[in-house]
Amino acid sequence: MIVTVLVPDEYGVSALGAVDGVRAVRYDSLDDLPPEAAEAEVLVPGFLSPGQADVLDALPKLRLVQLLTAGAEAWIGRLPDHVMLSTCSGAHGGSTAEWAVTALLAVFRRIREFEDDRRAESWDSRRTETLQAKRVLVVGAGDLGRQLHRRLVAFDAEVTMVATKARDGVRGLDELPALLPEHDVVVLMVPMTPATRGLVDADFLARMPDRAVLVNAARGPVVDTDALVAELRSGRLRAALDVTDPEPLPPGHPLWSAPNLLLTPHVAGNCTGVQQRAYRIVAEQIARFAAGREPEFLVRGDY
């Protein structure tokens, strides 16, 4: 029996071509699916594509939505019970961790200020901070958090991991209020769920020590934007954001001009090799499905 899989690009067609029992068919958009959609059992949405429940009418045999991303919030709650949802866990952790380390190094070593000096032809050899011995609180202990932990330790930072529930080597989310004042950096690497939406509010930020750095590599709505802007404008906190709320930022938004902020446009995982890494995971998950087994990274409930 052949399983028909709809993929959004030619790379997906090629990547799934070697998977036994699978026929990969490309589509141009979810609004214009090919005739093979009538037989498709698996849909692979494009990177960061919004969840479209109305597409289900054109996919009567759909049994699995396999994502190219680790985040699944766009599709959670939009699928009927008989359709499974699987993430691309393991594909983007290394790249996202690399971005977080890059952001912290840029902030602590004042790379942007030195670049401004270069443009102004100003030789100002001032002292900077270092990532060494910084106390870093990583909120999220999945693949992204684990990848970041490994890299931070290599820079001699002191790392504390936090997850929903405490376990060996990981603190519980309920311990955050006590942990925040003890750390120089907080890095967010949590999935977007009802429990994490607005997690970083004014009270959360107020508990961070003066000149601490908030790094958001999760999703924009995890942070209360207005509360963060207030802290940045006061000069008390610093931040590095790869995601924002709203996203993309509209013209004139306060984050464009906020001081003490390093901002990138959701590019932590968008780097060379991203398709290869993502489709390697996707091919493994779809191979399991075609063989009659459940994918490893199924979303159950909110995650």
| Residues carrying an active site annotation | 219, 247, 266
Q: Tokens standing for 188?
A: 């967010």
Asked if 217 contacts 190 with a C-beta cutoff of 8 angstroms, the reply is no
User: How far is Cα 174 from Cα 185, in angstroms, rounded to an integer?
Assistant: 18
Q: Tokens standing for 175?
A: 């311990």
Which class for 189: exposed (0-12), middle (13-18), buried (19 or more C-beta within 10 A)?
buried
User: How far is Cα 207 from Cα 88, in angstroms, rounded to an integer?
Assistant: 34
Q: Tokens standing for 65?
A: 């939505």
CA neighbor of 146 nearest in space, from 212, 213, 214, 100: 100
* Dihedral sign from CA coordinates of 110, 114, 119, 122: positive
* Dihedral sign from CA coordinates of 285, 288, 290, 294: negative
